[in-house]
Structure formats: C-alpha cells, structure tokens
Structure 1
Amino acid sequence: MTKLSSEWLTDGILDFEYKKYVLLAYLQNVRQEFSNQVLFPHLAQVREHYDSSVSLKESQRSMRSLFPKNLTGVDPDQLRWIYQNTYEDGDHLEEITDILEFAIPRFSQLIEEGELRYEEVKANLTIAPIGIVPLRTDEGYLFIYKQNSRETTIFRYQVTLFDSRRERIIQTQRVDSVRKNLSTTFENMKVNLTRRFTHLPNPATYMVESPREYPVDETLLPAAKQLMAKLMKVG
C-alpha cells in the first residue's frame, strides 16, 4: 500500500491498534519506494499527511483552550493560580489524539528520509542550455539525459504562474525518447524538434544530466523542473 487516503484517520474502524497497523504498512511501503529511488508522488503525499495531522492536532488544542477553566488553588513556589480544565475529550477524540501522537513523528521521520534522498539526487544533476538561449524562455524543451544508459527523454515545457516561493511553475509534456550516439547529438535532437514542431522555430532548450539511473518521471523530472525553476526565479 503506497497510497493512504486523506480520510485515513476517520475511515473504517476508529481503533488505535488498527490505525497503527494501517499507518505502519503505508510507511513501510513508501520507505521501500524511497529505497528504490522512487520519490514522487510519495514524498509530496507524506508531506500532505503530516501537514493535515499537525493542523488537526492544533485544532484540537485550540478547541480545548476555548473552554472555561476552574480555579483550584495557588502554586506558592511559582506564585501563580492553578486552574483545571472543564473540557474533557470523549472516547473518540481520545482515540484520534493517540493516533495523531503516534503518526506525526513517523510522518516527519519519513519526510526527512525522502528529502535526504531528493537532495542527493539534485546534488548529482547538472543543467545546461543546448545551443543559444533565446530571449523568450517561458516555453521550449527539456532534455533529461541518463549517462549510463545514454537515454535522453525529451519533454516540452511551459512556464506558467509563480508559487509561494516566487519560483516558476514548470508544466511538462513528454515528447520523445532518444538514445544518444556519435551521430545523434543533443544539438541534432534540438534541430529535429524544430522541424517536427514548427510552432517553436527557435525554442529554449535545456538539458539536465544524471550520472545515475534514477526513474525519470518519479524522480528525475521533479528534480529537473525544480532546477529550471531556480534558473528562472524572480529576484
């Protein structure tokens, strides 16, 4: 199971041991995917589960703080009043609290593992333009080249809006896959693309090169898009 429903906490049986089993099975499978260098969409999904779990826990804390408290005494050492909460969790809320306490640190740990692998992938990549870079770079081609297999996966890219970090959002569409050899250079690939797709007569073209055999769609493409976004980042 490499996908966990967004409603996993409340779906089915609301029981700590059962939810623990479901969660651990999910985390184990995602960790196995990470070990195979398959990072996406799993890393993003684990982040979403972590964020929603933390948000729910904060909501519970805020709800409790809204209830009145009874004054029960004075702490002479700290010179402060002692209050007792009048709010008590029901059985279901206690079960959810226990599950969240169990899940949040494990989501966090898995995110750290995935991000370490992702940073390692990005550290091994290089990005460079193919040919002369035109003035317009918001549309063109992205080559992802794996050195060991000499395989080049070609994507058409288009730059759209900005995200919260003021980085460009890169949308891609797979175009072709070509094996590089002495007669098939990156420059030749670019020329062939302009002949096939005449609406881009002088396209911006970038190549991201990987010395290792990572999966293209699940790992290399997200990393390549992030490298391109950094190149086009607004200062």
Structure 2
Amino acid sequence: MKKKLFFDETSFQEFKSKIEITTNILPVAIAELKVQGLKGVSTLSYESIKKGNFVQTFHEHHKNEMGKHDLMRDAVYEKYLELYGRNTKKLQELEDQYKVGIGNTFSLYTFNHSFFKYWESVLTHKPELEAVFNKSRLSNYNFFDLVTIKGNAVKIEVPKEPFTMYATNSRQIQMMDNIKTFVGTASEIGLKYSDIIGLIQNFLTTYDVYSVVKGKHGLSDDLKEINFNYNQVLTIQ
C-alpha cells in the first residue's frame, strides 16, 4: 500500500535552487557579453549561449566585426581586442562555472526522496533498511532534462512525485494514529509535555535541518501540535 502524507515543499524548492545556481549565470553572462561589445546583437539570448559557449560567442562576433573593416582585416586579432579594450577573463570564469552546472547529473528517488537521501549514506550499516529501499527507484536526470531555455525564457520543470511523502504500509499509519491517540488522551487527563515526550520522541521531529519537516518541534508544549519524524516513521516495516 501507499498512502499520501504530504508534499515536501521545502525539499522541492531546495532542489530547484540547486539548478537555479546554474541558470542564474545566464543573465550575468549576457550582461558581460554586452559590456564586451555585443550590445545590440539581435541574436544574443539565453538560448544562444545555453550550451556554455560564452567565449566562443565573444570571439565569433569580434572576428566578424574585425573583418568588416579594411584597415583591420589583416591585423593581429589579439591586438584588435586590445585596441578596443575587449577581453574574455570574466566570460571564461562564468563559462567554467556554467559548464560544471550543466554537466551535473541530478538523482531523484521516485517518491519519498528526502527520506531515502537521509538514509542512503548509512545503508551499508543498516541492512534492515534494504527492504525499504526496494520500494523506490533512483532515476537520473541531466540538466536539460529539467531545464528548457527558449529565447530569454528559462523554465525549470522538476517532477513533483519524488517529493511527495507516502506511508508505505499500514503499520506506519497505525503508529502515527497511536501516537495521536496517546497524546490526545494524555492531554485530556492533564499530563504535561515532560510526562510523555520521552515515550514518543523517537518518532517526532527534532528542531534541526535534517528532519523532513524542518525547523519544527515534534510536540508543542500544549500537546496540540504533533510533527512526526518521517525519517524514523517510514522505516517501520
């Protein structure tokens, strides 16, 4: 069975931001190309340099421009660039950064991605988790599988299903229901946070960046809010 719990928006946005680090280089590269003499070039766009051909675009333009002038046609190209104060230093730096980004492979589990990413580094030490991992499949994506660039428009399309969190068996659902019932009963009979937290804290979030529900306490002081640690709950088989 598979029962949807929630959509992990935080992890989804974090994943997109890794891609945006690369796409955000494009407007910077365009601005630098214009500084370096390509202002007003109608064919210059994000799409025209999406393969990372920043320096090539610079040279193609200036060699073409040099050839238009009779006095410059036989000049040394490097001297021509020096005369007009053009250089590729910043463009090369941007191109190197961009090419690293577009060369990346992005891996996503088909569902419960943040859960599986949390546990994959310790899988060899926890063989009991192998059965859990068999329920999801790791898919690899190239940069341009996730990014479309047309003209000066950039569209990032990250599949949402990997960031949808599911319970994968009835025992996980039962455990969460049991904790909710327990906390509700404790509140009704006047027990306090300190009376019960030790009994259930393994299945609740801690206030840190590693839990799926980030930055939230597992149980509020008034016992009204419960935030499960799905990294633990979803290991129940």
- TM-score (ref. length: structure 1): 0.31
Q: Which structure carries more strand by proportion? A: 1
- TM-score (ref. length: structure 2): 0.31
Higher Cα Rg, which structure:
2
Q: Which structure carries more helix by proportion? A: 2
